[in-house]
Amino acid sequence: MDSIIENMYRKRFGISKEGDIKSTKPSCCHCGTQFYHMACCIKGNVSSGKINILSFGENKYSPSTNLESVRSSIHAEQNAINKLPYTKNPIKINMVVLRFTKKYTLSMSKPCSKCLHHMTNFSPKKGYIIKNVYYSTGDNKIIKTNLNSLCSKNME
């Protein structure tokens, strides 16, 4: 899991494989907070480290669409799903959702109900079935759960 975390952090901040993560100062987050939220859809065995990152997403704002200049946000999970290419044969994948502080520590990134809906309803339309979801917690840990269980707990 450490290699996935490192790869996601490097991709998000454009740090080369040779660059030192700890000494790199991240640019300002798109959401204007102290956090950097990102997600990726992966295929393969996480515990063995043999994975393939299929898509990568981060939180971003869409352009204002009304007179009051209210911007809507696209969450990292939605962004990652939207970037998946369409496939005819269903593919089982996992999603990793991470949120970093400016000091490279993990923070809570449990998917919200809007993202769970997107994972459940839109990924199958593109030909993907999200099996497990890995998300970071406020105590610098990563939780693994399956999507169905996460959705059930969200309904309670």
Q: What is the pLDDT of residues 17-71, one digit of tens each?
A: 665 545 555 444 444 444 578 898 999 877 777 788 898 888 876 665 555 556 6
pLDDT in tens, 22-37: 555 544 444 444 457 8
Whether 107 contacts 120, CB under 8 Å: no
pLDDT in tens, 84-137: 999 999 999 999 998 887 777 788 999 988 999 999 999 999 999 999 999 998
Side chain identity at residue 75, one-letter code: H
Q: For domain 2-62+70-155, give its CATH number from 3.40.50.920, 3.90.850.10, 3.40.50.720, 3.40.140.10.
A: 3.40.140.10
The domain limits of the chain are 2-62+70-155
